Amino acid sequence: MSLLDIDGLAVAYRTPRGDIQAVREVSLSIAAGETVAIVGESGSGKSTTVHAIVRLLPAAARVSAGAVHFEGRDLVAASDRELRAVRGRRIGFVPQDPTVSLNPVVRIGDQVAEVLRVHGLADRRTAAVRAVEALERAGLPDAAVRARQYPHELSGGMRQRVLIAIALVGDPALLIADEPTSALDVTVQRQILDHLDALKRERGSSLLLITHDLGVAADRADRIVVMTDGRIVEQGTPSEVLGSPRHPYTRRLIAAAPSLNVDRARDAVAPGTGPALRGGLVTDAETPPSTEDRAPGSTSSRATAAPSRPTETASPVLEVDDLVKEFVLPGGR
Ligand code: ATP
Ligand code: MG
């Protein structure tokens, strides 16, 4: 059994204009240590899928079919008590919009420490120390000083790191990051993704990464899952999905991504001669790696991408209180 198994998941939103079927028959598994990227255009159901996994759907949403098993436990059917034991502890979640996800009147160090406290993982003093360590691991500069500041005193990139620290401080087996970089500039995006990669390797945990950006997915994921209109239409290794896409939607997505040039990468270099590019960012002056060698998961077979343009941040499904109370502070404030 995988770490996470989603089987036939369907989610609908009730609206005054009728039901919106946001997720349809989604089945997906994530193994221990694996990084899976879900890609797809805005509105394709990526956030709804992950909110269903962590049961953070708004009241208007209903899981109408399917099951989500995590470490053998059915999260759809789990009691609130069982869920509290999982969220923030076994599953860390970095939400899509950092601006609404931190409590504006609580110092950031306390917000990180609170996760350890509510899960009974540390006493107050130890939690404060581990909070600063988690902020450091998430790449926040001057973490000890910053820990005493409030969210409004931090930049957007720093706030994103605080959210990552909150998601990671309990050492979860699975980290779900919903567009963790879309509101950030390209350099900060790369730093954040590098940190997630490093933390994942250190801990052997799994990562479910949601992104608009095919270049990010190509570069970071063991497996890419393509969603459109609430369905998964294709999944495979980055070289399979981007090098020889089978579904017309995937082909359109690739064609619409000016930053991604898989053909150029495949054609330009003889097998084995391409440099092993870290970060997957290529400029015209650099030689892209070969994609002839199609060993699944091998870095040399990955598609390459130029820096992508930042995408807009979609309106959040969750309100501050939902997130902080229900997820980050499962015991309530
Ligand atoms: P983005 O890339 O913009 O974040 P997404 O792939 O995460 O998009 P979702 O937020 O999951 O997409 O939305 C899927 C569908 O569900 C869309 O049609 C969206 O309009 C609808 N939807 C999302 N949240 C709600 C809500 N709270 N009420 C009604 N419909 C919603
Ligand atoms: Mg989304």
Average pLDDT, the chain: 79
Ligand 1 center from residue 315 Cα (angstroms): 9
Residues 173, 205: contact at Cβ < 8 Å?
yes
Domain 4-212+311-328, CATH class in plain words: alpha beta
Q: Is 20 in the pocket of ligand 1 (CB under 6 A)?
A: yes
| Ligand 2 centroid, distance to 138 Cα (angstroms) | 22
- Residue 38 Cα, ligand 1 centroid: separation in angstroms? 14
- The residue whose CA is least distant from atom 18 of ligand 1 is 43
Atom in ligand 1 nearest the alpha carbon of residue 15: 29
* C-beta 28 within 6 A of ligand 1: no
Question: d(Cα 85, Cα 329) in Å, to the nearest integer?
Answer: 11
Mean pLDDT of 21-48: 95
* Mean pLDDT (whole number) for 149-169: 90
Residue labelled with tokens 């619409």:
256
User: How many residues make up the chain in this entry?
Assistant: 333
Between the CA of 213 and the centroid of ligand 2 the distance, in Å, is: 12
Residue 187, pLDDT score = 72
Q: Which residue has the tokens 């709804």?
A: 48
Q: How big is the CA angle at 236 (ends 243 and 274), to the nearest 5 degrees?
A: 40
Contacts 24+ apart (CB under 8 A), 148-153: 148/107, 148/109, 149/107, 149/108, 150/104, 150/105, 150/106, 150/107, 150/108, 151/102, 151/103, 151/104, 151/108, 152/104
pLDDT band at 206 (very low <50, low <70, confident <90, very high): very high
Confidence of residue 184 (pLDDT cuts 50, 70, 90): low
Q: Taking the C-alpha atoms of 152, 154, 156 and 162 in order, what is their torsion angle to the nearest 10 degrees?
A: -100
ipTM value greater than 0.85: yes
pLDDT over 80 (residue 12) = yes
Element (H, E) at 235: strand 231-236
Residue 92 phi/psi, 5° resolution?
A: -100, 140
Cβ–ligand 1 contact at 15 (below 6 Å): yes
* Residue nearest atom 24 in ligand 1 by C-alpha distance: 317
Q: Which two tokens stand for residue 13?
A: 């939103």
Q: What's the rounded Cα separation, in Å, for the pair 207 and 89?
A: 14
In angstroms, how far apart are the furthest CA atoms of the chain? 59
Indicate if ligand 1 lies below 6 Å from the C-beta of 45.
yes
Q: Is 121 in the pocket of ligand 1 (CB under 6 A)?
A: no
Which residues are paired to 177 by β-bridges?
A: 94, 209
Higher pLDDT, 288 or 125: 125
Q: What is the pLDDT of residues 109-118, one digit of tens each?
A: 999 999 999 8
Residue whose CB lies within 8 A of the most ligand 1 atoms, among 26, 39, 44, for a mutation test: 44
> Per-residue DSSP letters for 172-207?
-SEEEEESTTTTS-HHHHHHHHHHHHHHHHHHT-EE
Strand partners, 224: 37, 236
Spell out the domain ranges in the chain: 4-212+311-328, 239-301
Taking a C-beta distance cutoff of 8 angstroms, is the pair 278, 219 a contact?
Answer: no
Walk across the sheet containing 18-30 and list its strands: 18-30, 4-15, 61-70, 73-74
Distance in Å, CA 287 to ligand 2 centroid: 33
Q: Integer distance in angstroms from the first to the last C-alpha of the chain? A: 36
% of the chain surpassing 90 pLDDT = 52
Site to probe by mutation for ligand 1, drawn from 46, 181, 253 as the one with most ligand atoms within 8 Å of Cβ, is 46
Confidence of residue 34 (pLDDT cuts 50, 70, 90): very high
Q: What is the pTM of this model?
A: 0.78
Per-residue pLDDT tens over the stretch 71-103? 999 999 899 888 888 988 899 998 887 667 799
pLDDT in the model for residue 259: 62
Q: Whose CA is nearest to atom 21 of ligand 1?
A: 22
